[in-house]
Homo-oligomer: A and B are copies of this chain.
């Protein structure tokens, strides 16, 4: 009987967050995309507080670099399955802000015609297979999508996003095993923000993803998920290998949940010091600083921000003038028609 030695926790790889790895234009582009998610969610925060968004919403503020970094390596035909915290994934995959805000405001012009809301934003045309209200469910949906890519003989890949808390669900194991067994083009992206609702994930989990993935020989990479350069670099390397048939891979992004589990969660259960430290880890600010260091002036940065803010405001305005969805149309959409799909 051998008691396995606890492996040293893989530290967050450093040296990847070297902005010189990518061009300044690329970085500026990433910045714009990070900022789009950030400003969109900040706007949502306000709309929610003002009672314009029904239901409840889980913001990804502080986690934007995961969405932007991973999606930087994807193309439209690649598919992603997302989580309850899926705004960033949707926008980064290419969801238009108009349809996004219209959905959050429950308008007929929304991507889901106001029937899904925050937890179900989806757009099959851009390979966004849906945010999901069921923790872990996206794993198996992405598994099936990867199976479809492989069966159809494309070199598209599927990506399953999941939180660190979701790792306690049995589906993770089933999907890792099947993906490894069948060598499916499935990328497991864990957004490890340290929390599952109101409990640190140290109280959810007795394992590290890296150790688990190793059991199935699924290559695992752990990066600083608040460093978009590191995330995109890892994503590009991984996705390239996967397009060449490397089989499933795992990318763990260590990141920060800034706004609590859902809007309205004051996070009283968290250490105030930990909360205070979040600002220094901000993935958006970090890129702004990098761009400044690369010589992009304050005016240029502000112009990017202003452009984003304007697009966000336009989308909100558009959503607000939208119409209420029709109940009859909703009823008619429970089933697809026709004997041939």
Q: Do residues A219 and B1 form an inter-chain contact, with CB atoms below 8 A?
A: yes
Partner of A214 from the list B169, B211, B219, B238 (CB cut-off 8 Å) is B211
A169-205 Cβ-contact flags toward B at 8 Å (1 or 0): 1111110111011000000000000000000000111
Partner of A169 from the list B170, B208, B212 (CB cut-off 8 Å) is B170
Q: Do residues A205 and B219 form an inter-chain contact, with CB atoms below 8 A?
A: no
Question: Closest CB-CB distance, A219 to chain B, in whole Å?
Answer: 4
Q: Do residues A205 and B221 form an inter-chain contact, with CB atoms below 8 A?
A: no
The answer for the CA separation of A296 and B100 in the assembled complex, in Å, is 81
Q: Do residues B211 and A215 form an inter-chain contact, with CB atoms below 8 A?
A: yes
Partner-binding segment picked from A2-10, A18-26, A64-72: A2-10
Partner of A207 from the list B172, B177, B207, B238 (CB cut-off 8 Å) is B177
A300-331 Cβ-contact flags toward B at 8 Å (1 or 0): 00000000000000000000000000000000
Per the CB 8 Å criterion, the residue count for chain A at the interface is 37
Question: Closest CB-CB distance, A69 to chain B, in whole Å?
Answer: 14
Count of chain copies? 2
A156-169 Cβ-contact flags toward B at 8 Å (1 or 0): 00000000000011
Question: Closest CB-CB distance, A173 to chain B, in whole Å?
Answer: 3
The answer for the CA separation of A183 and B338 in the assembled complex, in Å, is 55
Q: Do residues A219 and B3 form an inter-chain contact, with CB atoms below 8 A?
A: yes
Q: Which residues of B contact A234 (CB under 8 A)?
A: 1
A131-173 Cβ-contact flags toward B at 8 Å (1 or 0): 0000000000000000000000000000000000000111111
Q: Do residues B217 and A215 form an inter-chain contact, with CB atoms below 8 A?
A: no
Using CB atoms, name the residue of chain B closest to A203. B181
Among A169, A177, A205, the one with the most B-chain Cβ atoms within 10 Å of its Cβ is A177
A206 close to B (CB within 8 Å): yes
Using CB atoms, name the residue of chain B closest to A179. B206
Query: Known contacts A214-B211, A215-B212: does B1 contact A221 (CB below 8 Å)?
Result: yes
A220 close to B (CB within 8 Å): yes
A216 close to B (CB within 8 Å): yes
Q: Do residues A214 and B217 form an inter-chain contact, with CB atoms below 8 A?
A: no
Closest 7 pairs (CB-CB, A-B): A170-B170, A173-B173, A180-B206, A211-B215, A4-B214, A181-B206, A212-B215
Where the two chains meet, the residues of A that have a C-beta atom closer than 8 Å to any C-beta of B are 1-4, 6, 168-174, 176-178, 180-181, 203-208, 211-217, 219-221, 234, 237-238, 249
Given contacts A4-B220, A168-B177, 17 further A-B contacts (CB under 8 A): A1-B219, A1-B237, A1-B249, A2-B221, A3-B217, A3-B219, A170-B171, A170-B172, A170-B174, A172-B173, A173-B173, A177-B207, A180-B206, A181-B204, A206-B217, A207-B216, A207-B217
Q: Can you name 25 A-B pairs with beta carbons within 8 Å?
A: A1-B219, A1-B221, A1-B234, A1-B237, A1-B249, A2-B221, A4-B219, A4-B220, A168-B174, A168-B178, A169-B170, A169-B174, A170-B172, A170-B174, A173-B173, A177-B206, A177-B207, A180-B207, A181-B203, A181-B206, A206-B217, A207-B217, A211-B214, A212-B212, A215-B215
